[in-house]
Structure 1
Amino acid sequence: MRAWILCMALAAGISPAFAQKPAAAPTEPAAQDLLAQVRQQLKDAPVVRGQFTQEKTVKGFKQPLRSMGDFLVAKGQGIVWHVRKPFASSLVVKPDSLQSRRADGSLSMQMRAEDEPVLRTVNAMLFAVMSADLVQLHHFFEVSGKAQASGWQMRLLPRDPMLAQWLASIELEGGQFVREVRLQEARGDSSLIRIEGAEAASQASDSELAQFR
């Protein structure tokens, strides 16, 4: 996940146009119907917690790179992505910054929106993907897919040409929560993130909120 976010930040950073939020795109009838059906299934919660497993497939390597851990998505605060295995680390994505921390909590990397203005837009896009924020997703991507009683699927194609040079597509599957995220990079690498045990909460704990300070 950290590699995905950093690559997206770098890709977006070379596009001045992407530093501004894309104008609201006209919603095609099919996409409008799909978003309405997905919205009916999604659970709108201030806080979502869960676990994840990730497989990163890199061209030239036979075996995928695997990691696992847990995450927190808090509206108005951001995302905390804890990698537990194979090496402990964490990534904190806030509206105005991105931080990478070592297992002991010490800071290993930090990017601020005041230094990298595009970061605010990138972080908004990441939050939209992880929380399936349908309005924001349609700002950043062309949306297609299907919805049925057992769940929904969406395919996202980036609207920004410079971002499309790195990111070919994102595929989301879910029900009340996002269950899978598939990232296909333009150069051939791909990632599959599976979300398990997702739970909604009305608020984050004090210790969880402390991670955003």
Structure 2
Amino acid sequence: MKAWLLLVSLIAWLLAGSGLVTAESSSQTLIDNRFASLQNYRTLRGEFMQLRTLPNLSNPLRSSGQFILSRDQGFLWQQQAPFRTRLVFSEQRLIQQVADKAPQILTPVQNPAPFYFVAIFQSLLGGDWARLRQDFRIEHTDQGLLLQPIQEPMRRAIEAIRIEGQDQLSRLTMIESSGGRIDIHFKNLSTDQLPLSDAELKQYQP
């Protein structure tokens, strides 16, 4: 029905509603455009420095290393300090190796929980906001984005996630419901459309 056929009160209500829809759409556009460079890639590489704060420890645990997020091969997280660990995640399996010990391999059938949380982390790094909206309420802030879980079991584990940066992701803060906190600082992020090198592909194998 044309607007000029509506009663004045109904027109006012529609305009108010339209304003709300526009605001929500604008906010969603801001969210979708934030860290847009992370969304159009075949491979994302970078370095990280992580601080893990636990309620029963006076000093945070510090670690650092490199990561690769490949749309072809999956997610590779390599900690170099204080000791070497390797985590490889794909839809079919999860590989974890500490130093030179034999790698441990886990499948979703054996334990689906790690795959759920690693998939969330992978979506955060890759800027997959459509996937994240299934589990989080996402708000745009001056510093970046604020994500608050809306689904179980995420709400039992995480209170909120903050993502900071301008054109590129620079910091991810995860506040745990138990009182712990994880701060990850990223640097030297790069994206490209090239396949992984032979050396990188070897890191994805058990």
TM bucket (normalised to shorter chain) is: 0.7 to 0.9
Paired with 1:91 and 1:30, the residues of 2 have a C-alpha distance of 37
Query: Residue 197 of structure 2 is aligned with which of 184, 187, 205?
Result: 205
| Counterpart amino acid of residue 209 in structure 1 | L
Paired with 1:137 and 1:208, the residues of 2 have a C-alpha distance of 28
Superposed CA deviations along residues 16-74 of structure 1, whole A, max 9, x for unmatched, are: xxxxxxxxxxx943541322331655452111111110001111322111011111111
5+ residue gaps, structure 2, are: 1-22
Question: Does 1:47 pair with 2:43?
Answer: yes
* Counterpart residue number, 1:175: 166
Paired with 2:26 and 2:148, the residues of 1 have a C-alpha distance of 15
| Counterpart amino acid of residue 111 in structure 2 | E
* Counterpart residue number, 1:76: 72
Matched-pair contact (CA < 8 Å) for 2:94–2:107: yes
RMSD of Structure 2 on Structure 1 (CA):
2.3
Query: Residue 66 of structure 1 is aligned with which of 48, 55, 62?
Result: 62
- Distance 1:51-1:116 versus aligned 2 partners, 3 A rule: same
Query: Residue 124 of structure 2 is aligned with which of 119, 122, 129?
Result: 129
Matched-pair contact (CA < 8 Å) for 2:35–2:168: no
Residue 118 of structure 1 and its aligned partner are, at CA, apart by 5.0
Residue 140 of structure 1 and its aligned partner are, at CA, apart by 2.2
Query: Residue 184 of structure 1 is aligned with which of 161, 167, 175?
Result: 175
Matched-pair contact (CA < 8 Å) for 1:34–1:146: no
5+ residue gaps, structure 1, are: 1-26
Matched-pair contact (CA < 8 Å) for 1:168–1:186: yes
Paired with 2:116 and 2:56, the residues of 1 have a C-alpha distance of 32
Question: Does 1:195 pair with 2:186?
Answer: yes
Residue 126 of structure 1 and its aligned partner are, at CA, apart by 2.2
Matched-pair contact (CA < 8 Å) for 1:96–1:120: no
% identical aligned pairs = 24
Matched-pair contact (CA < 8 Å) for 1:31–1:143: no
* Counterpart residue number, 1:20: none
Paired with 1:137 and 1:167, the residues of 2 have a C-alpha distance of 14
Query: Residue 140 of structure 2 is aligned with which of 121, 139, 145?
Result: 145
| Counterpart amino acid of residue 77 in structure 1 | Q
Superposed CA deviations along residues 113-144 of structure 1, whole A, max 9, x for unmatched, are: 13234555444322101212122122221100
* Counterpart residue number, 2:13: none
| Counterpart amino acid of residue 148 in structure 2 | L
Aligned length: 182
Residue 106 of structure 1 and its aligned partner are, at CA, apart by 2.6
Paired with 2:35 and 2:129, the residues of 1 have a C-alpha distance of 7
Q: Secondary structure at the match of 1:49?
A: strand
Matched-pair contact (CA < 8 Å) for 2:42–2:192: yes
